[in-house]
Amino acid sequence: MKKNTVQKLLAIGLSCILSVGMLAGCGSKTESGAGAATGEAGGAESTPAAESTADTSASTDKASGDIPTLIWWTVGGTTPSDYTDCLANINDYLVEKLGVKIDIKVAGWGDYDQKMNTIVNSGEYFDMMFTNNTNYSKFINLGAFENLTDMVQTTTPDLYNFIPEELWNGVTIGGNVYGVPSYKDSSITQFWYFDDQYVQKYNIDLESIKTMKDLDAPFRAMKEGEGKSFYPLQMAQGSPFNGFFNEYDGLTAGLQPIGVKIDDESRTVVCTLEQQDIMDNLKLLHQWYMD
């Protein structure tokens, strides 16, 4: 992608992370260019590096008389019924404001990680990709993301100044920025919810439930009262217990067994599965299963 197209891409300021990417080292360089990727801290968007793209790429240079179309891979559920009309309206706006169009490709939540791995490792062309803590650092190590450190400050100063420094630090690896963090959440809140009929029937004090252990009493009350065929907690095989590792920073490694305790001032990386609090909750979860 030509540098001016990359600048236009950054100017879009989509509510996800922008990462300009190149697939050098992930596949053979071709004239059609390398790919780009996005992530979630949101998420991230990526575009191919200028040195590895040409006029034959999916993002055609505007000087040729054609409007460049940026290929954007993102993650989501069912495609809305009005998707085509909405995309047409978005592209009308982008052509007017930035001189580009976007082709949004959506992969399902269950398929997304594998799909992005395949795209990055095969060298399939793309301009932007949603990325998050499961693959951001991995794709950087593969050389899939462009270094945006200077570009986001010089080309899009308003965007750079709008996003808090803490979020920029969160996407900085090795002193460099490879993605524009999605500035949409200022905190994470863990919660559980109950069917109100059981809350009333068993007089469950919702305000007293602060930890996983606090769920034990209401779960047992409902199970005893409703009988053998009733399950107060239902989990599919392989699905995690929501919020299980919230007390640990996963370091965007995408590996649940490692992390840093959020209140550990020494910032020591530990095996989460060996920590006493995690062990206690695992034993509690197993006890619920057995009972």
Average pLDDT over residues 151-166: 93
Architecture of the domain delimited by 3-177: 3-Layer(aba) Sandwich (3.40)
DSSP-derived letter for residue 159 is: H
Are the CB atoms for 18 and 38 separated by under 8 Å? Answer: yes
Residue 281 has pLDDT above 60, yes or no: yes
pLDDT given for residue 190 in this prediction: 76
Residue 1 has pLDDT above 70, yes or no: no
Residue 209 has pLDDT above 70, yes or no: yes
What ranges do the domains of the chain cover? 3-177, 196-290
Give whichever of 27-36, 162-171, 235-244 has the largest mean pLDDT: 162-171
Are the CB atoms for 36 and 50 separated by under 8 Å? Answer: no
Average pLDDT over residues 10-26: 40
Residue 43 has pLDDT above 80, yes or no: no
The pLDDT-based confidence of 182 (bands split at 50, 70, 90) is: confident
Residue 72 has pLDDT above 80, yes or no: yes
What is the signed CA dihedral for 261, 262, 263, 269, rounded to 10 degrees?
A: 40
The pLDDT-based confidence of 57 (bands split at 50, 70, 90) is: very low
- Lowest mean pLDDT across 48-52, 76-80, 139-143, 147-151: 48-52
- Lowest mean pLDDT across 17-31, 154-168, 266-280: 17-31
Average pLDDT over residues 202-206: 95
Outline where 17-164 has alpha helix (H).
Answer: 83-97, 112-122, 136-141, 151-154, 157-162
- What residue type is 81 in one-letter code? S
Outline where 13-99 has alpha helix (H).
Answer: 83-97
Residue 25 has pLDDT above 70, yes or no: no
pLDDT given for residue 234 in this prediction: 84
pTM, to two decimals: 0.53
For residues 172 and 145, give the distance between their C-alpha atoms in angstroms, rounded to a whole number.
12
Residues 6+ apart with CB under 8 A from 279: 273
For residue 238 the two structure tokens come to 């392989």
pLDDT given for residue 184 in this prediction: 79
Report the percent of the chain where pLDDT is more than 70.
76
Residue 186 has pLDDT above 70, yes or no: no
Chain centroid offset of residue 124 CA: 20
For residues 184 and 16, give the distance between their C-alpha atoms in angstroms, rounded to a whole number.
9
Mean pLDDT of the chain, nearest integer: 79
Who has greater pLDDT, 21 or 102? 102
